[in-house]
Amino acid sequence: MKNLCIITNKYPNPVEPNVLVFVQQLVWSMADKGINCSVICPMPVNLNTKYLKFPYKTSETTENGTTVDVYFPKYIGYGQSEILGFNPARITTNNFTNAVKKVITKMIDKPDAVYGHFVTPAGIAAARIGRLFNLPSFMAHGEATFMTIDHFGASKVANELKTLDGVVAVSTQNKEMLLSVNAVKENVIDVFPNGYRKERFYPREKIESRAKFGLPNDKFLVCFVGSFDYRKGIDRLMQAINKIDGVYAICAGKGELTPSGESCLYNQAVDNKDLPYFYSAADVFVLPTLNEGCCNAIIEAMACGLPIISSNLSFNDDILDDSCSIRVNPSSVEEIKFAINHLYNNKEKLKDLGKGSLQKSQSLTLEKRAEKILSFIATNAK
């Protein structure tokens, strides 16, 4: 396989530079392996008129100097949420697919395979494009819930995806999610946990990192990276921290539940390029999330040498163990508090888990993930 086309409904752009950066990083890693990667990301111009200013085609360069072509065709989209009793998910997916079709039709060098990111609209679009152009088609599944499948209809999703040659699930839980609704056949799906780009995420010097964000050097800092919402658990984290003297939170993200108060020293979005310093400024990473596909923030924090406190639910089973983490009931403020307090008062345990994170993260590099996924695609392509 020489040419791979990645289909996605979001991709870093001038308006949203930090959206689905992990998709871009996977594309870059694949491109750096010698694969000619192109990205097609249709933009719903009726939902955001700023998308009208995007060029139809642009190019970006990976950190290793490889070129990736990115297409931003325009289309009319209606989202995938119910409007007055009607769900427009299928109409949106149809229009999205047509936009992708037009780009591929015009390509001089046609792809050898297509890879859609998430079930709808990109995964279904990939399956349709595969049938239309007689190409091997693949899909990545990393959703935390059944929402997109429910909106489109489980039986219709299964019918659309039945021609896929392979499915990349980011966790065992994600694999089981698809199988539980018969969305795909078990023989075409495999698990590949998310990864981090090792050229970007590695431990930085703590004093320098804290200075970068105006943080004190003499405080025990708990790091949170994610949406400020109930699912991610920012409110439960702050309740726990407020019960521990001498412990402070630094939180990167945005959302309705923006943390505040004396115990919160930072509560703003952080650019992706600065995240390694943000992680490195902290003593421990805590994410009491209720649901994930496979959390990139946890993996990035591990790569930066942080001990992890996170959920004991199954979506973390593929990436966390006792060598690098303390797993808690994400709904229990007391368990979150106990875990933080334990590491605050046990520097040896803190140090050991940090070392465990660095060691565990070596198996979770994006380079290794790209190699495995490309091998999976080559093996399953008909």
The verdict on 160 and 283 lying in the same domain is no
3-class SS at 302?
helix
Residues 189 and 247 reside in one and the same domain: no
Tens digit of each residue's pLDDT, the chain (382 residues): 899 999 999 999 988 988 999 999 999 999 999 999 999 999 999 989 999 989 999 999 998 999 999 999 999 998 877 776 677 889 999 999 999 999 999 999 899 999 999 999 999 999 999 999 999 999 999 988 888 888 888 999 999 999 999 999 999 999 999 999 999 999 999 999 999 999 999 999 999 999 999 999 999 999 999 999 999 999 999 999 999 999 999 999 999 999 999 999 999 999 999 999 999 999 999 999 999 999 999 999 999 999 999 999 999 999 999 999 999 999 999 999 999 999 999 999 999 999 999 999 999 999 999 999 999 999 999 7
* DSSP tally for the chain: helices H, then strands E: 13, 16
Residue with tokens 């959703």: 143
Q: Is residue 200 part of a domain?
A: no
Residue 142 domain flag: yes
267 within a domain of the structure (yes/no):
yes
| CATH number of the domain encompassing residue 82 | 3.40.50.2000
- The SS3 of residue 156 is helix
% of the chain with per-residue pLDDT over 70: 99
Backbone angles phi, psi at 117, to 5 degrees: -100, 115
Helices (H), the chain: 21-32, 89-106, 124-133, 147-152, 154-161, 172-180, 206-212, 234-241, 275-280, 296-303, 333-344, 347-361, 366-380
- Structural domain harbouring 299: 206-363
201 lies in some domain: no
The tally of domains found in the chain comes to: 2
191 and 302 in a common domain:
no
Residues 323 and 275 in one domain: yes
DSSP 223: E
What is the three-class DSSP state of 365? strand
Q: Is residue 330 part of a domain?
A: yes
CA distance 183 to 192: 18
Q: Exposure string (b/e) for 158-191, b if CB count within 10 Å is 16 or more?
A: bebbeebbbbbbbbebbbebbeeeebbeeebbbb
357, 374: one domain: no
Note whether 81 and 12 are same-domain residues.
Answer: yes
Q: What is the pLDDT of residues 242-271, one digit of tens each?
A: 999 999 999 999 999 999 999 999 999 999
Strands 57-61 and 67-71: antiparallel
How do strand 36-40 and strand 67-71 relate by DSSP bridges? parallel
372 and 346, same domain (yes or no): no
Q: Are residues 27 and 152 in the same domain?
A: yes
* Tokens found for residue 128: 């349709």
pTM of the predicted model, to two decimals? 0.91
**183 and 172 fall within a common domain:** yes
> Looking at the structure, do residues 315 and 373 belong to the same domain, yes or no?
no
Same domain, 212 and 185: no
pLDDT in tens, 84-103: 667 788 999 999 999 999 99
Residue 380 main-chain phi, psi, to 5 deg: -95, -10
- Which string of DSSP letters, residue by residue, matches 321-344? -TTTEEEE-TT-HHHHHHHHHHHH
Choose among 175, 122, 179: nearest CA to 152.
122
Q: Are residues 28 and 177 in the same domain?
A: yes
Question: Is position 329 within any domain?
Answer: yes
Q: Is 286 exposed, middle or buried (0-12, 13-18, 19+ CB in 10 A)?
A: buried
* Angle formed by the axes of helices 333-344 and 234-241, nearest 10°: 50
